[in-house]
Copies of this chain bind each other. A is one copy, B any other.
């Protein structure tokens, strides 16, 4: 790999001259510029971005870290983030936190490779995030509430309220019982939705039954298994609240296999409003998260911090009930 030094030598100029010429600085005479450019082309010269970033102490890239690249991608979120990031002349890279703390996330959280990160990955622990924050390196956390560092900003959806609204909707529609399929126990999102579920139950004078509270791990397969379990238990609830849409898809499958009709025999509601939701049969009633808006805000806030303007330490969004045909 030829370096700028090789280019300079070939063009018969000093390194700095080559550098200036390459970056289009106008203080270089036209003819010398040509010479340099020609030399660069002949050698097939490629600038080393790493060296540049190191020198400038700035990468002009933002990382978006997701727990799973292969899941139903939050494309709305990405769109929100990407728009502003590109507009600001920055680049966006997205990577996975798969593999916990030995994962790619470490590289980008710990080792100064981007100018900031937006994090939506429940498998990374709070303490790790806190240990990664530092002056001038903002971390925007999207799925929980992390305090104690001015460089960590939390953006959340009001999950307790969302869980409440979902459960309340079911009960108001006359359902005498509602089961809850949760996400992983370390997910604050899931736990909060559960809290809302509990609150709604209480307000309506219903008692939570542990046999109707199962873990579905936020995955389609998990939702399928949990629903199967529910079915095998014999007595079915009149409705199920899945803590995310993916699990609801699995649930729908399990129900169909047992020829239990939705919404005829049982009502189900999801959470998130993923792209697929309207295409399911029946189209899934769910709690919509304003993903685009969240992405937009996340990127907005990250640049605020980068530009050293004061921001709040946390933001919150509300969810919205999207009525389709599964209830």
Interface residues of A (CB under 8 A from B): 1, 44, 46-54, 59, 61, 63, 69-73, 75-76, 78-79, 82, 86, 91-96, 98-99, 104, 107, 110-113, 132, 134-136, 249, 275-276, 279-281
Interchain CB contact (< 8 A) of A73 among B44, B75, B104, B107 = B75
B93 close to A104 (CB less than 8 A): yes
Known: A70-B79, A135-B1, A279-B281. A94 touches B95 (CB 8 A): yes
A1 close to B54 (CB less than 8 A): no
A48 close to B104 (CB less than 8 A): no
| Chain B hits for A70, CB < 8 A | 75-76, 78-79, 82
Q: How far is the CA of A93 from the CA of B98 in the complex (A)?
A: 12
B69 close to A96 (CB less than 8 A): no
A78 close to B69 (CB less than 8 A): yes
A50 close to B47 (CB less than 8 A): no
Known: A112-B1, A281-B279. A48 touches B44 (CB 8 A): no
What are 21 A-B interface contacts by the 8 Å CB criterion?
A1-B134, A49-B107, A49-B110, A49-B112, A49-B113, A50-B59, A50-B112, A61-B104, A63-B93, A69-B75, A72-B75, A82-B96, A86-B98, A86-B99, A91-B95, A91-B107, A93-B94, A276-B276, A276-B279, A279-B279, A279-B280
| Chain B hits for A107, CB < 8 A | 49, 61, 91
Q: How far is the CA of A91 from the CA of B104 in the complex (A)?
A: 6
Shortest C-beta distance, A38 to chain B (Å), equals 15
Closest to A81 in B: B69
Q: How far is the CA of A79 from the CA of B112 in the complex (A)?
A: 26
Interchain CB contact (< 8 A) of A276 among B44, B91, B110, B275 = B275
Q: How far is the CA of A104 from the CA of B51 in the complex (A)?
A: 18
Q: How far is the CA of A110 from the CA of B22 in the complex (A)?
A: 14
Interchain CB contact (< 8 A) of A104 among B47, B92, B249 = B92
Shortest C-beta distance, A318 to chain B (Å), equals 24
| Chain B hits for A93, CB < 8 A | 63, 93-95, 104
B111 close to A47 (CB less than 8 A): yes
Known: A75-B73, A94-B94, A280-B279. A110 touches B47 (CB 8 A): yes
Shortest C-beta distance, A289 to chain B (Å), equals 16
Interchain CB contact (< 8 A) of A96 among B44, B72, B92, B98 = B92
| Chain B hits for A280, CB < 8 A | 279
| Chain B hits for A71, CB < 8 A | 75
| Chain B hits for A92, CB < 8 A | 69, 95-96, 104
| Chain B hits for A275, CB < 8 A | 72, 276
Shortest C-beta distance, A6 to chain B (Å), equals 13
